[in-house]
Amino acid sequence: MEIRVDRERCAGSSLCLSYLPEVFDQSDDDGKVLLRTPVPGADMEEAVRGVAARCPTGAITLHARDAQDA
Amino acid sequence: MAKRLKTAAHTRRNGIEPLPELASISAQTPLVRVDAEGSFSGWHWLATGLDEVRAILSDDHRFSMIPPPTQMHGAAGRVEIGNLLRYDPPEHTRLRKMLVPEFTVRRIRRLEPFVTEIVTDCLDALELAGPPADLMPTFALPVPGLVGCALLGVPRDDAADLARHFISTSAAATDHRTDPRERERMRAAGNAFVTYIRRLVRQKRRDPGDDLLGMLIREHGADVTDEELTGIAATLLGSSIENVGGMLALAPLALLQHPDQLALFLDRPELIDQAVEELLRYVSSVPNSIPRYATTDVRVGDQVIRTGEVVMCSLLAVNRAQLPGVPQDTLDITRDSSGHIAFGHGIHHCLGASLSRLELRIALPALFRRFPGLRLTVPAEQLRYRTWTPNYGVDVLPVVW
Ligand code: HEM
Ligand code: HEM
Ligand code: SF4
């Protein structure tokens, strides 16, 4: 699974990095999301799904690794 | 034709509880047309379902925050310039972009020592004065007021005065809308508040400090007008005091009404983060979103919201009746309620969420540790709840310890 983030869309809520600091970060310059771990291990998948579902702007999307766009 | 809703179940509550019918409305008609008598300021639809609310709040292209000229109501006397909840993209994006870096969780955590100091000062003053006390002007309002002042860069000497102005605009009688003297007093206090902020902005232009206003002026000074800065600062301070103030009254109330949860809250300090989320969900102190105006016909589920129609989203209904795995009427600080939408959803998601969490995380345990015997002096049903404001709260919170 690969994570993509839409930094235009991100509202800077800090929610993702509060729950999963190993995976997400937030820029001090523009307050928007940054990815630390774009391809998290299988053990993280469920947690990442949970965070993506809670992101207030839907800025976090999950994609199958081999597909161009899932 | 869609079924119409006749009650005002979304605007009224029974203390902290939603009216019982809200859960059934939410289950049966997650998006419902509101009859004129149920409608409270001319809006047409009420969304109470999780999917419907999320769909509407995230659709900032087709739902606007700006009332069409024919729908302007109740806005008189309010600062609207600089209020992010009155902007659509791209103007919203421009203003929000300037502010977001100041509200990241990392930036906000730096305020922790200030918040602790302010909470301690308020509790010291309460303890010194002794019981009985009204927690609104002594704790619930001054904590976010003083924190907000520190954030914006209001000199400490002025903060107390400013807080008084604000508290007198906020802590008005519930029926202020019908009492002209009360309304006049509120208007005057509101004006004094804005006049002060306007002066502060001018002074910060000359001498920008390390605070939020100073930062905005240093980094974006050429792109933002004094009127915008005044509106931004008044909004931040206003929504901060009202919203965190509401939570600092209603969260203690919820805990006092659930002694088992209060005991857990005190025995297991490691639960604090999830306890705060659960309290935000349970209390839902902003029960409804700001109205959204359809800019085109929008299909939501099996209904069509027509161009120009107004829809209100019940955050309370979603938080209380619609979250997967969360039964309606229990407060349980051991559960994961992080899916709540007490801070809204979409691009207008509360800018002050991290700041609110920090204040609640510090102030709530401190209150109960300082006064372990804290209790209300009147039954909770006799408190005067504010049903006429966008955020829910009480005017007076009388306690002893
Ligand atoms: C979640 C958002 C907000 C909630 C729940 C909220 C709630 C309230 C409430 C309850 C009052 C008290 C009295 C009244 O109804 O007139 C009030 C007054 C006020 N609000 Fe808000 N507010 C919010 C956001 C804002 C924003 C974004 C602004 C930006 C301009 C703002 C500025 C003010 C000001 C300056 C007053 C007091 C003075 C006056 O009446 O002119 N508020 N608000
Ligand atoms: C526990 C306390 C709070 C609650 C429950 C709360 C709730 C909310 C909600 C529900 C919204 C979205 C309204 C909508 O979309 O219709 C919102 C927006 C907003 N809140 Fe809060 N709020 C709280 C504290 C604060 C604080 C402390 C601040 C200021 C520092 C603040 C500033 C704002 C601003 C500026 C917006 C508009 C954001 C935008 O339009 O981009 N709030 N809040
Ligand atoms: S949760 Fe979503 S909106 Fe919030 S910081 Fe992360 S990506 Fe941005």
The pLDDT tens digits of the residues spanning B232-286 come to 999 999 899 989 999 999 999 999 999 999 999 999 999 999 999 999 999 999 9
Name which of B104, B338, B349 is nearest A26 (Cβ-Cβ). B104
What are the boundaries of each domain within chain A? 2-63
Domain A2-63 sits in CATH at 3.30.70.20
What's the token pair of residue A19?
């729950």
What 8-state DSSP symbol labels residue A41?
-
Q: Tell me which of B201 and B20 has the higher pLDDT.
A: B201
Confidence (pLDDT) at B308 = 87
Task: Give the number of domains in chain B.
Answer: 1
Strands B385-386, B393-394: pairing is: antiparallel
Q: Which residues of B lie closer than 8 Å to A, measured between beta carbons? A: 58, 96-97, 100-107, 338-339, 343-349, 353-354
Banded model confidence at residue B53, pLDDT cuts 50, 70, 90? very high
Each residue's pLDDT tens digit, B107-127 = 999 999 999 999 999 999 999
- Residue A43 above 90 pLDDT? yes
Q: Tell me which of B31 and B39 has the higher pLDDT.
A: B31
Q: Which residues of chain A make contact with B105, given a CB cutoff of 8 A?
A: 14, 17-18, 26
Confidence (pLDDT) at B70 = 60
Cα-to-centroid distance, A59 and ligand 3 (Å): 6
Q: How many CB pairs under 8 A join A and B?
A: 56
Question: Residue B267: how many CB atoms within 10 A of its CB?
Answer: 9
Q: What is the mean pLDDT of chain B?
A: 88
- Does the C-beta of B85 come closer than 6 Å to ligand 2? yes
Question: Residue A57: how many CB atoms within 10 A of its CB?
Answer: 22
Name which of B101, B338, B345 is nearest A31 (Cβ-Cβ). B101
Q: Tell me which of B382 and A67 has the higher pLDDT.
A: B382
Q: How many residues in chain A?
A: 70
- Residue B167 above 80 pLDDT? no
Give Rg (Cα) of chain A: 11
Strands B292-294, B63-64: pairing is: antiparallel
Using the Cβ of A29 and the Cβ atoms of chain B, whether some distance falls under 8 Å is answered with: yes
- Does the C-beta of A59 come closer than 6 Å to ligand 3? yes
Q: Which domain holds residue B350?
A: 5-78+87-400
Residue of A nearest to B277 (CA): A15
- Does the C-beta of A14 come closer than 6 Å to ligand 3? yes
Q: Tell me which of B390 and B300 has the higher pLDDT.
A: B300
Q: How far apart are CA B132 and CA B340, in angstroms?
A: 35
Closest residue by Cα to residue B161 from B212, B195, B120, B121: B195
pTM of the model: 0.89
Confidence (pLDDT) at B151 = 93
Q: How far apart are CA B212 and CA B215, in angstroms?
A: 5
Mean pLDDT of B208-228: 93
Q: Which CATH number goes with the domain that contains B128?
A: 1.10.630.10
Q: Which residues of chain A make contact with B343, given a CB cutoff of 8 A?
A: 13, 56
Mean pLDDT of B31-59: 82
Confidence (pLDDT) at B1 = 37
- Residue B163 above 90 pLDDT? no
Would the CB atoms of B100 and A14 count as touching at under 8 Å? Answer: no
Strands B45-47, B310-313: pairing is: parallel
Residue of B nearest to A19 (CA): B338
Q: Tell me which of B173 and B330 has the higher pLDDT.
A: B330
Banded model confidence at residue B168, pLDDT cuts 50, 70, 90? low
Name which of A27, A29, A31 is nearest B103 (Cβ-Cβ). A31
Residues 6+ apart with CB under 8 A from B153: B200, B204, B209, B210, B211, B212, B213, B214
What's the token pair of residue A65?
């690794």
